[in-house]
Chains A and B, each alone.
Chain A
């Protein structure tokens, strides 16, 4: 842990966002994770994404379970709501919170242990419900907090720090999400914020459940030769299936993208976006093709927004809850009283 807290003094020309905050206003407490932990980079990317989306801190709820990953909500947005739940139980807590107050932006931070072992059932059902939230798996392929055992996402053949190779096949959260019907599935790498920040912004703007699997090397227990989730190994096997950039809602701009090379398109604010065609065999809206693409590249770390479907209704739409968050409803409306209950019960007789 650092000897001092990050000094409050900031660069004098730090930009301010639409609500007048600087990126420093989205920071949290000092990280107590190991120096060089990928999770800290993800934290910084989340800070950047929230700043760029101009989200008011008090409208954010950050939730987590147990693990190194689950410590990280403390390290961003001091002004947000937070809930640190039991191991693997973050999705049901998020579901309950969202049911009561749909006005907040929900950010769940989990790890490969929390999401793919003890909490996997809850994760699957949150995806099934299409709960509107950003769900980040800080995936390092190791139980860091208990000193380096293999986790459910350790690759076959990946070596522990002492040299043993893992023999059990891994659970890939992206394939899990695709197979179970998740409506936004992406993968990124903590060491590449240029890709991670736009993916997080897109995920935060998704209609339903947005699963973002981020390969996040554990510098202490899983960054050695032979590990498949080290900085070096991940960098060597990175393969972007899609180019990611998040474009905020605005009037439509039509452009023809050249079949090869880069096409420049001027945006509303005068900036220029550079477009390249996706690989011919990739379609971000086709679940089966996404699945097949991943299966066809088993040795690469395929990254990008891999699948998205904005047509599926989220939990609130499915349950016809009012647009007004339930917490804001007057008590008489929320709870019409025993006479109404008796009437309802009568209908079931």
Chain B
């Protein structure tokens, strides 16, 4: 097996599972340690660097980090990363002075951003400090995009949303409200130096079934949520059927519950294991008395005397993999309103097809996956507008990458020139058996989020349901983090093969074995390698016998006992910091390691 190249930032980055899984590569373990030290503002600013909207994401993120968390593989429950992010956001001080300075003298380049959602705002956040003049075109009278219109205020309070958007707009971005872009051609004629399309996926999918056109009580989910957000809608019938079982469906059913809905059913075609909604959103909806009905496919709307009275469904029976179904019968469920939450599409009727911006047969723009550039130079796409609905954290990362491209483009650099990740590795050894981090494994269980009680929360539409972690919960939850960024760094030439590290490792991660191909070595480890996607570290040949030191990274709790029991300091615990390049920063983010 070839010796592992730990010089490549990717190797240790992958060991920090949460950071690797996060589209924006937020430095999770570091901000959790800052929270543990009570340094909430620092934790917030560290978050803000990569994910820009910690307060918003601390409530609404899809949390790709949590299923990846190593803690989940050890005791079944990942660290409550998202909730801790909210702790930092809730308890931070004023950050105005910590934001990057905005040059008074601009660099002469004007950038147009279409839509004031997370993608465009991130581009503005990255480009304003570099001296760009940014103009945002927003069709609504207020900014935020789908973060405002699609996420109900009982999940994301307006104050939090406004605060984080304002911190970007206050950098001096010009924003034109009530200004939908109706012609890309006309916009391009205004001679902006670059245009970024961050207009989201604003068109909710419709369901063409008999009776669809005969009632005004059948709503498109995201449009309906938008009209609730703008207070155009303030009530709904007592019996509501929600079609679809994604996160939008969860927001629709819980909003219905607050607007007069009493008997609310979420209708799913497939079994529960195949739902798109995040499990915690399903739990929250069910806690509020929403019924989730599986294996029902909508067949027709029932209209009697011009009034919607119910909906007919086919009852399905699925095979084991839920790929084929057969109809076992039909059922009619009475209702007053139906909300369709079956997905959303991009729509670009305002982009003329003769501008050199190519679209594919599904009417989606051809966007470069790395540069986010369209087929017309100087026009970039990001967020849901690029490849359809994802989530906020992806939109943010798209924004960062597009900002790099826009900067390159405006500085006459090829957009394909991408800055690379750098890394810092710094020993955490403070003395004999002393480390600069809390290395003990804490067996605490994942803390449960407390909710506003079930009567009180329905009194107003905008009562935030989740109370946030208490100080005690925070103190316990931070200790569940395994500090995966404090890496076990091995120097083969120092090793005397005394076996001390192998004997002490609580998770049997380490093995010394003669060289062999990786698949053979994986079968010879001290404990079986149960997750083959996790890296196997192999050292250079050891000086005394030429065997290899092997480490299965999978279940390491980063306790540092290997380093403490190593007589020659061949093992050391070194904090890995991923240096993420952003627009305008040095191309090579490497900072000399100590």
Contact = CB atoms under 8 A, between A and B. Distances in A.
Interface of A: 1-4, 6-14, 34-38, 40-41, 43-44, 190-191, 193, 217, 219, 223, 231-232, 235
B544 to A, nearest CB: 5
A235 B506 CA distance: 27
B440 A36 contact: no
B321 interface: no
Q: Which of A1, A14, A37, A231 has most B Cβ within 10 Å?
A: A231
B471 interface: no
Contacts of A40: 499-500, 503-504, 565
A1 B433 CA distance: 7
Given A4-B561, A41-B498, 7 more contacts: A4-B440, A8-B443, A9-B557, A11-B508, A11-B527, A13-B527, A40-B565
A219 B499 contact: no
B496 A223 contact: yes
Given A3-B435, A7-B557, A232 B507 contact: no
B238 interface: no
Contacts of B592: none
A150 B439 CA distance: 39
Contacts of B75: 9
A10 B506 contact: yes
B507 A11 contact: yes
Contacts of A217: 498
A79 B545 CA distance: 36
Contact of B530 (A4, A7, A13, A43): A13
B555 interface: yes
Nearest to A234: B544
Contacts of A37: 498, 500
Interface of B: 74-75, 433-435, 439-441, 443, 496-500, 502-504, 506-508, 527-528, 530, 544-545, 555, 557, 559-561, 564-568
B503 A44 contact: yes
A12 B530 contact: yes
Contacts of B434: 3
B498 A231 contact: yes
Contacts of B496: 36, 219, 223, 231-232
Nearest to A5: B440
Contacts of B507: 9-11
Going nearest first, the 3 A-B pairs with the smallest beta carbon separation are: A36-B567, A7-B441, A44-B503
Contacts of A231: 496-498, 544
A229 B417 CA distance: 58
Given A2-B565, A35-B567, A7 B497 contact: no
Contacts of A193: 499
A41 B502 CA distance: 9
Nearest to B431: A3
B439 A35 contact: no
Contact of B443 (A9, A13, A34, A36): A9
Contacts of A219: 496, 498, 567
A37 B560 CA distance: 18
A3 B507 CA distance: 18
Nearest to A220: B567
B561 A6 contact: yes
A13 B528 contact: yes
A8 B507 CA distance: 9
A248 B440 CA distance: 40
Contacts of B74: 9, 12
5 contacts: A2-B433, A3-B440, A4-B559, A35-B500, A35-B566
Contacts of A2: 433, 504, 561, 564-565
B512 to A, nearest CB: 9
B508 A14 contact: yes
A35 B561 CA distance: 10
A7 B506 contact: yes
B556 to A, nearest CB: 11
B499 A191 contact: yes
Contact of A38 (B441, B498, B530, B566): B498
B439 A3 contact: yes
A181 B118 CA distance: 84
Q: Which of B498, B504, B567 has most A Cβ within 10 Å?
A: B498
A6 B502 CA distance: 12
A154 to B, nearest CB: 20
Nearest to B499: A41
A13 B530 CA distance: 8
Contacts of B498: 36-38, 41, 190-191, 217, 219, 231
Nearest to B496: A231
B191 to A, nearest CB: 62
A320 B495 CA distance: 53
Nearest to A2: B564
A223 B567 CA distance: 11
Nearest to B438: A4
Nearest to B500: A36
Contacts of B530: 12-13
B503 A235 contact: no
Nearest to B561: A2
A7 B224 CA distance: 52
Contacts of B443: 8-9
Nearest to B525: A11
Contacts of A11: 507-508, 527, 555
Contacts of A10: 506-508
Contacts of A35: 500, 564-567
Q: Which of A11, A13, A235 has most B Cβ within 10 Å?
A: A11
A44 B499 contact: yes
Contacts of B555: 11-12
Contact of A6 (B500, B506, B545, B567): B506
Q: Which of A4, A35, A43, A219 has most B Cβ within 10 Å?
A: A35
Contacts of A7: 440-441, 506, 557, 559
Contacts of B504: 2, 6, 40
Given A3-B439, A219-B498, A232-B544, A14 B557 contact: no
Contacts of A14: 508, 527
Nearest to B504: A6
A193 B503 CA distance: 11
Contact of A36 (B557, B559, B560, B565): B565
Given A7-B440, A12-B530, A235-B544, A34 B567 contact: yes
A67 to B, nearest CB: 19
B439 to A, nearest CB: 6
A15 to B, nearest CB: 9
A340 to B, nearest CB: 54
Nearest to B565: A35
A83 to B, nearest CB: 24
A1 to B, nearest CB: 7
A114 to B, nearest CB: 22
